[in-house]
Structure 1
Amino acid sequence: MANSKSGETVLERCVRVLEAFDKTHSTLTVSEISRRADLPMSTAHRMVSELVEVGLLDRTEDKRLVMGRRAWEMFARTNPVEELRFRARPVLEGIHSAVQQFTSLAVPQFEDNEVLFIERYTRFGDAKIRATQGGRMDLFDNSNGIIFLAYAPFDVLERVFSEPMVSKTDGKTYDLDVVQDQVEFARRNGYAKITNGMVRENVAYAVPLMGADGHLVAALSVVGKAEECDDDVILTVLAASGNQLSHGDKPLVLPRIPRHGR
């Protein structure tokens, strides 16, 4: 039920408060939440008090706000994204150790034309990386997204290919013909490879993870400086790892994440 002049529900405003937090804003004051969530100060105060009371936000000793432990607890024990991350972690660690380059796990957000990164390993390799854990990128500007487009429904392809491909990550406009060629390559070969992409000196690879019904669930990727990457080694490791996860004892399930993360 809406009870504000804007027509927003209380729940929608609570979500805006929670979405004010991100990797670079992990602790906030009420005034910062008010500004980042675009809420009146009185509304922000009320929302914060209620969220603290139920444990979705916690107060630090200096009175700043952080995401609450109860929020983590509920997410960790029930969210299908966390289950996918848990199952994939040993495989991702193995890839990362074997190829000594940035390794990630991502899921498609077709409703938003985006890729959501849910796990990443950066212990090895010194390439410049734009992906962040819990962060999003467009479907057309990274190797995971190219894999997703290779398996995407027609309406998603039509939407992505009919709009200007301006990356939210680097602000660059991507060429339609180049992206379509990358997608066709992924369809033919079962993996994506991008050179001279977002970071010119990098090369990026990705392979799909499939569910028991043959539908796309996620993608595994490796990114490194081109001079440090061996195609044969990386693709062999990625293919074996993708096959291991896709054909394990328990079928992979695509996490259902609401539009725009809300």
Structure 2
Amino acid sequence: MANSPSGDSMTERLVRVLETFTPARTAQTAAEIGRRSGIPSSTAHRIVGELVDAGLLERDAQHRVRVGMRLWELATRSSRALRLRQAALPFMERVQSRVREHTQLAILEQDEALFIEQLSGSAAGSNATRVAGRLPLHASSSGLVLLAFGGPDLQQRVLGGPLARRTAATIVDPDALRRKLAEIRTLGHAIAPGYIADVSTGVAVPVHDETGAVIAALSVVLPHGAQTEPALVELLRAARDIERERGL
């Protein structure tokens, strides 16, 4: 790809444009995209126009730009995350019907927990996550599972900090986090009371692939102080069923 005067390739600029969209920012103008991506306004308008023409972005009635259905279509055709979600969903629904809070599935993506599915009851409590949302590995039950069973390079990067504090309960001391990760590997699950939000407790278990490697974390978010054992039983059963569904 040809480089811009600043040295950025066209691919890098396209990625920067698409990264300006977030779960909370789903529509914006081309000028806002240019400002947030750090791309000159004229270049941003041109890139946005080309992406709209290709169907990867769409314009709404207010001439704001949104992610297009064509981008979703291409992304899901051979998505590893989509196949995992499809295998997991029936068992997540069973967990959800019994726990009646938030049931979530997360994978490791760029040293964060990326949530690819979430089921929530109408009366479920507070939850900081959403589909396509991310949480730090050290501060969420799903992230702790992915980190505990991740490779040494991953753990070294995360433990090297900085470890951002989300609540007073968030583990931000590297030695304390190492002890927590060792505990998770021993127990086979993570419980994170108040780590992300004071009012909730995360409970998560690993999902393995055919080699035994952990490929996902299945979790529920409970009100802070709620009993975790019933949810843990359901999660462990669901994780085994997901692995069996995937032919393990």
> Do they fold alike, i.e. is TM over 0.5?
yes
- Determine helix, strand or coil for the equivalent of 1:78: coil
5+ residue gaps, structure 1: 252-262
The residue that corresponds to 1:85 in the other structure is 85
The 2-side partners of 1:82 and 1:142 are apart by 22
Equivalent in the alignment of 1:94 = 94
Give deviations 1:80-120, integer Å, cap 9, x for gaps: 112212221221121111101111100013xx321111111
d(CA) in 1 for partners of 2:176 and 2:103?
24
Please name the residue that 1:259 is paired with.
none
Q: Is the 8 A contact 1:96 1:124 kept in 2?
A: no
What are the within-5 Å matches in structure 2 for residues 205-216 of structure 1?
205-216=203-214
TM-score after normalising by structure 1: 0.87
Q: Secondary structure at the match of 1:247?
A: helix
Equivalent position to 2:228, from 216, 223, 231 = 231
> 1:53, 1:36 → 2: CA distance?
21
Query: 2:21 matched to which residue of 1?
Result: 21
CA contact (8 A) 1:220 1:238 kept: yes
For residues 67-92 of structure 1, the C-alpha deviation after alignment (integer angstroms, 9 at most, x for no partner) is 11111111222221122122212211
210-219 or 54-63, which moves further after superposition? 54-63
In structure 2, C-alpha distance between the alignment counterparts of 1:90 and 1:198, rounded to whole Å: 27
Q: 1:69 to 1:243 in 2, by over 3 A?
A: same
Q: The residue matched to 1:127 in structure 2 has which SS?
A: coil
Report the Cα distance in structure 1 between the residues aligned to 2:222 and 2:104, rounded to whole angstroms: 12
Give the structure-2-normalised TM-score: 0.91
Q: Once the two structures are aligned, what percentage of the paired residues are identical?
A: 33
Partner of 2:107: 107
**Would the aligned equivalents of 1:120 and 1:132 in 2 still touch at CA under 8 Å?**
yes
CA deviation digits over 1:7-28, x for unaligned, max 9?
1111211121111112221111
Offset of 1:122 from its aligned partner? 2.0
Contact 1:102 1:125 in 2 (8 A): no
- In the alignment, the residues of structure 2 paired with residue 17 and residue 29 of structure 1 have an alpha-carbon distance, to the nearest angstrom, of 11
2:59 — aligned with what?
Answer: 59
Q: Who is 1:32 aligned against?
A: 32
CA distance in 2, matches of 1:192, 1:173: 13
**How do residues 144-155 of structure 1 correspond to structure 2 at under 5 angstroms?**
144-155=142-153
- Does the aligned pair in 2 maintain the 1:125–1:224 contact within 8 Å? no
Report if aligned partners of 1:75, 1:82 keep a CA contact under 8 Å in 2. no
Q: Which runs of 4+ in 1 moved over 3 A?
A: 169-173
Judging changes above 3 Å, is the alpha-carbon distance between structure 1 residues 233 and 197 closer, same or farther for their aligned structure 2 residues? same
Q: How many residues align?
A: 247
Which moves more between the two structures, 169-178 or 16-25? 169-178
1:165-217: CA deviations, max 9, x gaps? 125x6697723343223212211111111224222332211000000111111
CA distance in 1, matches of 2:10, 2:33: 16
Secondary structure in 2 matching 1:219 = strand
1:236 shift after superposition = 0.9
The letter for the 1-side match of 2:70 is R
CA distance in 2, matches of 1:8, 1:170: 38
